[in-house]
Amino acid sequence: MTNGDIFVGEMIGTAILILFGAGVCAAVTLRFSKARAAGWVVIAFGWGFGVLAGAYTAAPLSGGHLNPAVTLGLAVDTGVWDKVWIYLLGQITGAMIGAVLAYLVYLAQFQANVRKTGTTEGTVDEPVPTLGIFSTIPEIRNPVANLITEILATIALVLPLLALVGSNRHVEGVGIGLIPGEEGIYGSGIAILLVAFLVVGIGLSLGGPTGYAINPARDLGPRIIHAILPIPNKGTTDWGYSWIPVVGPVIGGLLGGVIYNAAF
């Protein structure tokens, strides 16, 4: 597996993940969307299907990590660190591309996100905030609580994922990338499906407080794009909170790897 394969695989897979994830958030949030106000369950399944589509696509090239927390957890478990940087670069790049693609899909809805002439604040025609389409926003802003939520939710992702793929951890030549002759770190398509449902479960059970970033690239890449894009009435990009959905999942990914390595 070359660095080019890893970068392209992670870039494409993460772009698909964010296209689905930011897309479902836009569908539920923006006016003039047929899925508007469909609710949190729809959002959780949209992100899960994004993991499914992205990981299946990326698996033959890079193993389909799509998440720096997963990459770091696998590196801690296996002790293989030399390819980590290229995984992270591909993931961040892909997340930014996916955010742009989701914006283009809902371009007309974003352009229509303006207050109609003669309406007042608080009416149904008031512009809706857009940051939540791209990145996470806590329901209660409490840095300590928010950080703890992101750490624990990420451990809840990385630890079961490592256990799921753990039967391959001692195969000679298997690092944090593709298992020769098999589908990425997962070993089978069924494993990818199970991880996708794991992400849905985390969203339903643990996503309420912060919106469950559990993936530094998933939050940071689209947040950068939100700051850049010419979105009408887009509001704040909230850089003051942006460190939590990056630091929390990084800590959670590392702890997930440490716990799995120690216990299994």
Please report where in the chains the tokens 């494993």 appear, as a residue.
191
Q: Are 159 and 259 in contact (CB under 8 A)?
A: yes
> What is the band of 5 on the pLDDT scale with cuts at 50, 70, 90?
very high
* 84 φ/ψ angles, rounded to the nearest 5 degrees: -60, -45
Residue with more model confidence, 15 or 171: 15
Task: Convert the pLDDT of each residue in 89-102 to its tens digit.
Answer: 999 999 999 999 99
Per-residue pLDDT, 125: 66
Residue percentage of the chain with pLDDT more than 90: 79
The mean pLDDT value for 151-155 works out to 98
Residue range 211-237, pLDDT digits in tens: 999 999 999 999 999 999 999 888 899
Using only the alpha carbons of the chain, give its radius of gyration.
Answer: 18
Structure tokens at 176: 């944090």
Predicted local confidence at residue 173, as pLDDT: 36
pLDDT(184) > 90: no
Mean pLDDT of the chain: 90
Task: State how many domains the chain has.
Answer: 1
Give the Cα-Cα-Cα angle 79, 198, 207 (nearest 5 degrees): 105
Summary count for the chain: helices (H), strands (E): 10, 0
Pick 225 or 118 by higher pLDDT: 225
pLDDT value at residue 190: 87
Question: Containing domain of residue 158, as a range?
Answer: 3-263
Q: What is the pLDDT of residue 181?
A: 39
Indicate the pTM of the whole model: 0.91
pLDDT tens digits, one per residue of 20-52? 999 999 999 998 999 999 999 999 999 999 999
Enter the tokens of residue 218.
């998933």
- So what's the pLDDT on residue 128? 86
CA separation for the pair 223, 238 (Å, rounded): 9
| CATH number of the domain enclosing 133 | 1.20.1080.10
Return the pLDDT at 118: 55
